[in-house]
A and B are shown apart, each in its own frame.
Chain A
Amino acid sequence: DAKTTQPPSMDCAEGRAANLPCNHSTISGNEYVYWYRQIHSQGPQYIIHGLKNNETNEMASLIITEDRKSSTLILPHATLRDTAVYYCIVRVLQGAQKLVFGQGTRLTINP
């Protein structure tokens, strides 16, 4: 019962910006957009989250549309180590709401 839709796979050249889209048209007003990634054979790793304003940290930027129905995760200068499966999740910030993963986007960074 994931509430997001992502493309199954994407490719990006090393050194370029990787832009990963996510649709979440049924997002509620108190739900945040979270991004995680999973590098092969490791547990998922938190990347970034946001409510309605754009967010940036040392790993990535998150752009959320004004209507909040979609978002884009941006890796500004992709490296080979960014090759992973990227998951977009919506959930409330606090409380006991389930943390449900979809199928994610398999991002391949090419040299």
Chain B
Amino acid sequence: EAGVAQSPRYKIIEKRQSVAFWCNPISGHATLYWYQQILGQGPKLLIQFQNNGVVDDSQLPKDRFSAERLKGVDSTLKIQPAKLEDSAVYLCASSQGGRALFGPGTRLTVL
């Protein structure tokens, strides 16, 4: 099966700029997750979708982060404006049932 696709793989921006990440989950997977992983730490769940509805976004910094999942398929995660502490790898995953499959991630560097 095709894996979870993410783009871009790498992004370098300056603080206060905006950035967007894209995720294409595995076909038919109802659940989609966005994680932030800072170097040396475990992945931190930012937002979880079930189809196109939000299940949990309690850890999403809503003053600067936003996410949407149009038509219950692809998803975008946006940061506006970015801060230095947003430098991290952003992981997207999808699942149908309990077994989640992860994409390769987007490495964001904020200067």
Contacts and interface: CB of A to CB of B under 8 A. Distances in A.
Interface of B: 4, 31, 33, 35, 41-45, 48, 50, 55-56, 91, 93, 95, 97-105
B45 A99 contact: yes
Given A44-B43, A103-B42, 16 more contacts: A34-B98, A36-B100, A42-B104, A43-B93, A43-B104, A46-B101, A85-B42, A93-B98, A94-B97, A96-B31, A96-B48, A96-B56, A98-B48, A98-B55, A98-B56, A100-B45
Nearest to B55: A96
Contacts of A12: none
Given A43-B93, A43-B103, A99 B42 contact: no
A85 to B, nearest CB: 8
B29 to A, nearest CB: 13
